[in-house]
Amino acid sequence: MAFLWSKISATLPPNEEQFPLQFSEKVALSVVEMLKRARLQLYGETTRASRILNAQIILDYSWERLNTGTWRHVDKEWRRVYSYGCLFKAAALCRENPSEEEIRQAIRTCDMGLLMGAAIMENILQVIVCILQSEIRKLAEEDNHENIKAKVGHFFHICVCVLARSSSFMWFSQNNSF
């Protein structure tokens, strides 16, 4: 799954300095600082739990801002904050050898960003969803292939057992050396 992270990281800017985080004064400075911390963690070596926690803080705070008042009165800046939170969480989930369930959770997170947030970084959430869905399809194909192999192996084992118990095989094995 390290290959998955290489695909996702290829969609991101090459370094922290080129990762855009410009917001108007409508977004609290403390939120911008959390976003900068999450960006730093994205490019640095931080624990997975810490990356997920910071992303979740951004998501929770911006979710509250998205759900105060009517939708048309929610400032686009807060929708962008929510999308960045989704990006950071999806990246955190997929960074270190994710399970199939973690990949699915990352897809759900990106979907929420696409539904409730605003487009950021040339619609990066949509690009990541496509990468993750492709990975899920590959995992499903591998599982299907493994199931077929297991069924064929099991069928072969049954055939050998039935054949071994048959009287003609017993006679053949007693009268012929292998």
Give the pLDDT score at 173.
Answer: 55
For residue 163, the one-letter residue type is: L
Tokens of 55: 């992303």
Q: Do 12 and 42 meet the contact criterion of CB atoms below 8 Å apart?
A: yes
pLDDT tens-place string over residues 49-78:
999 999 999 999 999 999 988 888 999 999
How far from chain centre, in Å, is Cα 10?
15
Give the pLDDT score at 158.
Answer: 52
Q: Which residue bears the tokens 């911390």? A: 37
Give the pLDDT score at 177.
Answer: 56
Question: What is the rounded distance in angstroms from the CA atom of residue 107 to the CA atom of residue 130?
Answer: 9
In the three-class reduction of DSSP (H, G, I as helix; E, B as strand; rest coil), residue 89 is classed as helix
Which residues of the chain, if any, have pLDDT below 50? Answer: 159-163, 171, 178
Q: Do 115 and 129 meet the contact criterion of CB atoms below 8 Å apart?
A: no
Tokens of 27: 């977004």
In Å, how far are 64, 149, 155 from 114, measured between CA atoms? 17, 39, 46
Give the pLDDT score at 119.
Answer: 96
Question: At what angle are helices 76-95 and 48-66 packed, to 10 degrees?
Answer: 160
pTM: 0.80
